[in-house]
Amino acid sequence: MAAAPPVLICASAELQDGGDARRFEIECADGSRQAAFVVRYQGRVHGYLNRCCHIPVELDLQDGKLFDLTGHYLICGMHGARYRPDTGYCTWGPCRGQSLAALDVAERDDGVWLNAMPDEFC
Residue 23 belongs to what H/E stretch? Answer: strand 22-27
Task: Give the binding range for ligand FES (CB under 6 A) out of 29-37, 38-46, 65-73, 76-84.
Answer: 76-84
Give the three-state DSSP class for 121: helix
Give the three-state DSSP class for 114: strand
Size of the site for ligand FES (CB under 6 A): 10
Task: Give the binding range for ligand FES (CB under 6 A) out of 8-16, 21-29, 60-68, 74-82.
Answer: 74-82
Q: Does 79 bind ligand FES (CB under 6 A)?
A: yes
Helix, strand, coil % in the chain, rounded to nearest 5: 5, 40, 55
We find the least distance from the C-beta atom of residue 90 to ligand FES, in angstroms, to be 8
Q: Specify which residues 25 forms β-bridges with.
A: 35
User: What is the rounded CA–CA span in Å between residue 20 and residue 22?
Assistant: 7
User: What is the rounded CA–CA span in Å between residue 30 and residue 38?
Assistant: 23
Binding characters for ligand FES, 36-55, by CB under 6 A (x = yes): ----------------x-xx
Q: Does 100 bind ligand FES (CB under 6 A)?
A: no
Q: Does 35 bind ligand FES (CB under 6 A)?
A: no
Instruction: Kindly list the residues in this chain that would bind ligand FES in the complex (CB under 6 A).
Output: 52, 54-55, 57, 76, 78-79, 81, 93-94
